[in-house]
Amino acid sequence: MRRVRLRFAKDLEIEFRDRDRALQQIEQLAERGTLFPVVIYGPEGCGKTAFFKQVRAVLEERGYHVIYASPLAESVEEILSYTPTVKGIVKEVLKAFPEPYSRIVDAAIRIVSEVMKRLRRSRIALLLDDVFQAVGLDKAETYVKILLNLIEYPPGDYENIVVMASSSEGVTRDRIGRHGWASMRILWNMCREGFEQLHDAIPDESKPSYETVWRITGGNPRLLKKLYEAGWDVNTVFKSVVEEKKLDLFVSKLGEEELEILRQVIEDPDNLVKRLRERSAQELERKLIELNLIMYMHDRDEHGWIDQPPPEKDLELGIGRFYAWQTPIHREAMKKALRCIEVTNH
């Protein structure tokens, strides 16, 4: 299998590593197609985009015409890319849209419909990366239904179809999951072995040991990249998370009860479950999920996951059976913000 090359940092390209279990799952999907749109969500920076790029290569090797839209990408070539076999159809459809790049998801769906009509009995894949943020979270459900209709009531013929969408928005699960229109799968941070391969691929003599970065990042490749770019200075990375998410402001707006629950959630995220009957715990849960700090976890049954699920409990990494911090850095950044507010208040 061809492994795609990815830009890891300004000066460093790295070949797609590991995710072996996930790639096996994709090979199985490629054989029978997807009966529902597969919606992949997971921690910010866990590697969803990297994975989609590799999925495209896997599907093309299996004879799929792939249409890949990534509305939040920077360049036009990345916003919409496709297998050269459908180039003529793509050009024609794009011409019919006055401003195709501002409505790229609609354009991509139209392209798939046209491919079904014209290239009968073919293998078609539609990959939509980070799509719900682009169409608006309020329309996420509508789009998932449109994707399901494309599979169930195709405007043309197909041999197999694979439809996958990704999202890093914590609220995705609640918005989309409740309808049963999609197969919801979590892609978690990389497993130990996979992350070790990525760490090995960084040619930097001053890098800390693999064990050290594992404990800090919990296997999140974006945070590994941030550490690399910060010259391995962990405090710079903590600070960037606190600032990006405005955690000090977040903490300063919490009431006494919420603060008390937050401290318990830092100890063990499953403590949240014990308090969920209380209104303040429900509010706190909503806020922490919305800010992409914690996630609600499925049970570890393999159907809910792409690639290996994390263990049921790993308190060092902030992972519980029901809830998990997206990474240990998210939890530590929250601790820092809490400490800061406590000092200011005394």
Ligand X SMILES: Nc1ncnc2c1ncn2[C@@H]1O[C@H](COP(=O)(O)OP(=O)(O)OP(=O)(O)O)[C@@H](O)[C@H]1O
Does 6 participate in binding ligand X (rule CB under 6 A)?
A: yes
Q: By CB under 6 A, how many residues form the interface with ligand X?
A: 20
CB of 217 to ligand X, least distance (A): 11
Closest to 309 in 3D by CA, of 21, 17, 18:
21
Q: Which of residues 22-51 bind Mg ion (CB under 5 A)?
A: 48-49
Subset of 59-98 contacting ligand X (CB under 6 A): none
Answer yes or no whether residue 19 interacts with ligand X by CB under 6 A. yes
Residue 320 binds ligand X (CB under 6 A): no
Q: Which stretch binds ligand X (CB under 6 A): 47-55, 76-84, 103-111, 294-302?
A: 47-55
Write b or e for each residue in 226-249: b if 16 or more Cβ atoms lie within 10 A of its Cβ, otherwise e: bbbbeebebeebbebbbeebebbe
Q: Which stretch binds ligand X (CB under 6 A): 12-20, 176-184, 236-244, 272-280?
A: 12-20
- Distance (Å, whole) CA 199 – CA 220: 11
292 Cβ neighbours under 8 A, 6+ residues apart: 43, 44, 168, 169, 170, 245, 326
Tell me the C-alpha distance between 259 and 276, whole Å: 14
Q: Does 258 help bind ligand X (rule: CB under 6 A)?
A: no
Residue ranges of E strands in the chain? 5-9, 12-15, 38-41, 65-69, 80-82, 122-128, 158-167, 183-187, 294-296, 305-306, 323-325
What are the structure tokens assigned to 196, written together?
A: 């070790």
Rounded to whole angstroms, what are the CA distances from 191 to 12, 232, 327, 331? 22, 21, 13, 19
Q: Tokens standing for 279?
A: 């209104």
Enumerate residues 102-161 that contact Mg ion by CB under 5 A: none
Q: Is there binding between residue 14 and ligand X (CB under 6 A)?
A: yes
Residue 115 or 234: which CB sits closer to ligand X? Answer: 234
304 within 8 A of 186, measured Cβ to Cβ: yes
Shortest spacing between CB 166 and ligand X, in angstroms = 7
Q: Which is nearer to ligand X, 47 or 269 (CB)?
A: 47
Q: Does 45 bind ligand X (CB under 6 A)?
A: yes
| Residue 149 φ then ψ, to 5° | -60, -35
CB of 51 to Mg ion, least distance (A): 9
Q: What angle do CA 260, 278, 318 make, to 5 degrees?
A: 50
Least separation in angstroms between residue 89's CB and ligand X is: 28
Does 18 participate in binding ligand X (rule CB under 6 A)? Answer: yes
x/- mask, ligand X, residues 111-130, rule CB under 6 A, reads -------------------x
**By the rule CB under 5 A, 70 interacts with Mg ion:** no
Which residues sit at the interface with Mg ion, rule CB under 5 A? 48-49
Which residues sit at the interface with ligand X, rule CB under 6 A? 6, 8, 14, 16-19, 44-50, 130, 168, 198, 221-222, 225
